[in-house]
Amino acid sequence: MFDNLSARLQAVFSNLTGKGRLSEADVDAAMREIRMALLEADVNYKVVKDFVARVRERAIGADVMRSLTPGQTVIKIVLDELVTLMGSTESKLVLSGRIPNIIMLVGLQGSGKTTATAKLANLLRKQGKRPLMVACDVYRPAAIDQLETLGKELDIPVYRGEGTDVVAIARAGVRYAVDTLRDVAIIDTAGRLHVDEEMMDEASRVRDAVRPDQILMVVDAMTGQDAVNVAKAFAERVDFDGVIMSKLDGDARGGAALSVRQVTGKPIKFASMGEKLDALEPFHPDRMARRILGMGDVVSLIERAQEAGTAELDREAEERLRKAEFDLEDFLTQIKQVRKMGGLGSILSSLPGAGKLKGLQDNVDERQLDRIEAIIFSMTPQERRKPQVINGARRARIARGAGVHVSDVNQLLKQFAETRKLMKQFQAQGGKGRRRGFKMPPGMSPF
């Protein structure tokens, strides 16, 4: 979503860092480029005006002008102001001590509320909660069925109620949560295609009836400035506590994510980075700002690696990797870890200098992992554990089973053999590292 903005800002910074000293004219020229980049990213014009004014005021200060690296200092100023723009620090979901905690989701139809309800329930369950989803969207066709389907997929119960009285369904859902010992009730409310009095009145009545601990508005990042205007209207009428930014992995310009905090005064609490039900994560303004400026998000990458690797990479497998005795079963485990981390494209986008890796990201073919999996799944358990037994006839059979050419099987086996050879060389040269207690970091793959 922020690729174009990142490219524009990095071009501006490249010009600044190439100068030994900065004049006020240099700063003004850079501010014009930054202003245009933000406006093209569909950031609210008032937000852009205030942002550029703050950056310029700090950039023409004595500390920058006298600095030996003024360009780098300006980049640091822009980073600081971007973080402030999006909320300075992570705004965590605050739950009370009562049972159940009630979370109410509001927003327009099509913003992704129902999916966000399921994603939030899944996230809270990972944190040890026992959530219940309450289906209160009685107007959109199949909305309740959709939530029930998601609930079955996650094995999280859904209360659908009876009739079309949304307030009565919400109240009954809270009572059902108490009866079934659920400590969190997440209410999926109805939306409209646009802001109207009926929707606002209904949301207010549900709020007054169940008195939620948190009201979260789901904002579709793909709708740009319209999303900010809708959020402002909800803030005035319903007074929500925070924002779930959905579809942040899309190809829109990203202005909503940069504007909503400043315009509404409400923090972004969560960001949805994909369609999968585990693709909801806490929003970190500092990490997002670094990604926008092409500095990567290594912290989040490490967290995803740890989450993906801890459960999969057991001690026995780690020992095989260390001794270069791993097999194709271990290779499958590594592929699963890469997928849990969001895929190769997501990993590359989190690395510092992601903008310079854009060409490489565009050439990443995630389907290659599918082909590798198909080839390995077409092998017998013996062939996976001992690839050296795979002769010509076996290769032909494996290729037919995977729907690929024999050359694809040959290429995989060749790469696998070369990897094991390199690992053995590493082990031969790394005796000192082993005596010091070398350990393969979770989620890191030798393949």
pLDDT at 323: 57
The predicted-structure confidence for 135-166, as pLDDT tens digits, reads as follows 998 888 788 999 999 999 999 999 988 888 89
Whether 421 shows a pLDDT value over 90: the answer reads no
pLDDT at 231: 81
Q: What is the DSSP string of 189-221?
A: ----SS--HHHHHHHHHHHHHH--SEEEEEEEG
Residue 437: pLDDT band by 50, 70, 90 thresholds? very low
The lowest-confidence range among 76-85, 90-99, 314-323 is 314-323
Buried b (16+ CB within 10 A) or exposed e, 179-194: eeebbbbbbbbbbbee
Query: Can you name the CATH fold of 3-86?
Result: Four Helix Bundle (Hemerythrin (Met), subunit A) (1.20.120)
Residue 315: pLDDT band by 50, 70, 90 thresholds? low
Whether 184 shows a pLDDT value over 90: the answer reads yes
Return the CATH number of 101-290, one of 3.40.50.300, 3.90.1300.10, 3.40.50.150, 3.40.50.800: 3.40.50.300
Residue whose pair of structure tokens reads 């490490």 in the numeric block: 302
The predicted-structure confidence for 124-137, as pLDDT tens digits, reads as follows 999 899 999 999 98
The predicted-structure confidence for 348-385, as pLDDT tens digits, reads as follows 555 555 555 454 445 555 677 788 888 988 999 888 88
Alpha carbon of 312 to those of 152, 340, 341, 379: distances in Å?
Answer: 25, 11, 13, 21
In this prediction the pTM is 0.66
Nearest alpha-carbon partner for 236 in 217, 258, 264, 199: 264
pLDDT at 444: 39
The lowest-confidence range among 101-105, 234-238, 243-247 is 234-238
* Rounded-to-integer distance, Cα 436 and Cα 185, Å: 50
Return the CATH number of 298-435, one of 1.10.10.10, 1.10.260.30, 3.40.50.920, 3.30.930.10: 1.10.260.30
* Rounded-to-integer distance, Cα 360 and Cα 388, Å: 33
Whether 445 shows a pLDDT value over 50: the answer reads no
The predicted-structure confidence for 240-281, as pLDDT tens digits, reads as follows 888 998 877 765 566 777 888 888 888 889 988 777 888 888
Radius of gyration, CA atoms only, the chain: 26
> What φ, ψ does residue 132 adopt, rounded to 5°?
-125, 135
Residue 395: pLDDT band by 50, 70, 90 thresholds? very high
pLDDT at 247: 78
* Rounded-to-integer distance, Cα 283 and Cα 305, Å: 18
Residue 120: pLDDT band by 50, 70, 90 thresholds? very high
Whether 119 shows a pLDDT value over 90: the answer reads yes
Considering the chain, tell me which residue range(s) the CATH 1.20.120.140 domain(s) occupy: 3-86
Mean pLDDT of 45-72: 80
CB atoms within 10 A of CB 436: 9
Considering the chain, tell me which residue range(s) the CATH 1.10.260.30 domain(s) occupy: 298-435
